[in-house]
Amino acid sequence: MSHPKLIPVFAVLFAVAAASVPSTSFAGTPPSQDCLLRAHRITSVTPYRAEERIGRSAILRLRGAEVFVQAEPGLTAEWLQLTLARHIAQMRGPAAMPDCAFDVDDVAVRVESGGTGFRVRIIARDTDKAEEVLRRARLLLS
């Protein structure tokens, strides 16, 4: 067999193999309509306030929510940070979740180990968005 005859054979084999493998693309798959934090046990939600300096004065302003996630076997702060960052990235697409604290424009997430679990800070840029983040985060307790 010469090389020009092998090309159609490989093309057919490739097409058959591709058709028999299940698709792993998530582009067309609708994401879960529930906030990712609902997969974990939330023990508290508190306002997250940050100090803002104005001249010599300092004021505490609401910047979002601090959610305490109970520790689970195998769960690390790094893994939780990564999965929440991915969740936020999904929100930027067509995956609107109206009650998810991460589905507010321009939020950032910071995860820290904290004794028997993890402190998840959901931080918004302005007070209006911070109030909405806190409202949605409180829904996680229900």
Residue 122: burial class (beta carbons within 10 Å; 0-12, 13-18, 19+)? buried
66: DSSP letter: E
- Per-residue pLDDT tens over the stretch 49-74: 998 888 888 889 999 999 999 999 99
> CB–CB of 76/11 below 8 Å?
no
- Per-residue pLDDT tens over the stretch 130-139: 999 999 999 9
- Per-residue pLDDT tens over the stretch 19-36: 444 433 334 334 445 788
Supply 125's token pair: 């840029």
State the pLDDT at residue 54.
Answer: 84
pTM for the full predicted model: 0.71
> CB–CB of 102/88 below 8 Å?
yes
Supply 95's token pair: 């995956």
Amino acid at 20: S
> CB–CB of 100/114 below 8 Å?
no
Residue 73's SS3 state is coil
d(CA 34, CA 42): 14
Alpha helix segments (H runs only) across 52-118: 77-91
> CB–CB of 123/107 below 8 Å?
yes
- Per-residue pLDDT tens over the stretch 72-118: 999 999 999 999 998 888 776 665 677 888 888 889 999 999 889 99
